[in-house]
Chain A
Amino acid sequence: ILNVEQSPQSLHVQEGDSTNFTCSFPSSNFYALHWYRWETAKSPEALFVMTLNGDEKKKGRISATLNTKEGYSYLYIKGSQPEDSATYLCAPNFNKFYFGSGTKLNVKP
């Protein structure tokens, strides 16, 4: 059984705060890592896919980095807004996808 850990499990921040969370995974046989954003009552939506050690991706106020040698990825949100409230899932691929249980972010106005 392959272990994908996301921390923290949940996070409450004020509007305007910047925040980050972590996805940890085994570093061997790694192919790619995906981040998804999952709003309540909706389907997971893709944010980023990264493959190479040191990859950095950015979309607006959200960015992500990847360290394949030590097996982790960080997701950063700058200046959080209430609409950023969602669960953020990471899914590394080791010839198939393994999803973490997510970090649930709540941004208070």
Chain B
Amino acid sequence: DTAVSQTPKYLVTQMGNDKSIKCEQNLGHDTMYWYKQDSKKFLKIMFSYNNKELIINETVPNRFSPKSPDKAHLNLHINSLELGDSAVYFCASSQDRGPQETQYFGPGTRLLVL
């Protein structure tokens, strides 16, 4: 019954590896997001998709590539992982892309790059 789910919850990997984090929402929402929680605990938006179309693409390294196979899924693939990529990554969804839309967050994925 989880509304927004992410897998895996924890990911420990070596520098240079490629990894993916998956996100699924069962709320029937049109818009999905990826956030990175930085070292100062701020949630910073990375990407947003609306109906499988990329609408927000912040200044993140192009080693990060989102993929939305359908409206219910937004996956995050990271190539050539670096130490600085260690963080908690949150997926979220909202009914639509408007500024008043409430976002529903997943539980987060803790990524540790060694």
Contacts and interface: CB of A to CB of B under 8 A. Distances in A.
B80 to A, nearest CB: 26
Contacts of B35: 99
Nearest to B102: A46
A101 interface: yes
Given A43-B4, A51-B100, A96-B56, A89 B107 contact: no
A49 B99 CA distance: 9
B100 to A, nearest CB: 5
Interface string A24-59: 000000011010000000111110010100000000
A76 to B, nearest CB: 20
Interface residues of B, number: 20
A91 B45 CA distance: 11
User: Secondary structure of the A side of the interface?
Assistant: loop
B53 to A, nearest CB: 15
Interface in B27-76: 35, 40-45, 48, 56
B43 A93 contact: no
Contacts of B89: none
Interface residues of A, number: 20
Which of B42, B56, B106 gathers most chain A CB within 10 Å? Answer: B42
Interface of B: 4, 35, 40-45, 48, 56, 90, 99-100, 102-108
28 contacts: A31-B99, A31-B100, A32-B100, A34-B102, A34-B103, A42-B107, A43-B90, A43-B107, A43-B108, A44-B43, A44-B90, A44-B103, A44-B105, A46-B102, A49-B100, A49-B102, A51-B99, A51-B100, A89-B43, A91-B43, A93-B100, A96-B45, A96-B48, A96-B56, A97-B103, A99-B35, A101-B41, A101-B42
Given A31-B100, A93-B100, 13 more contacts: A31-B99, A34-B103, A42-B107, A43-B4, A43-B90, A43-B105, A43-B106, A44-B90, A44-B103, A49-B100, A91-B43, A101-B42, A102-B41
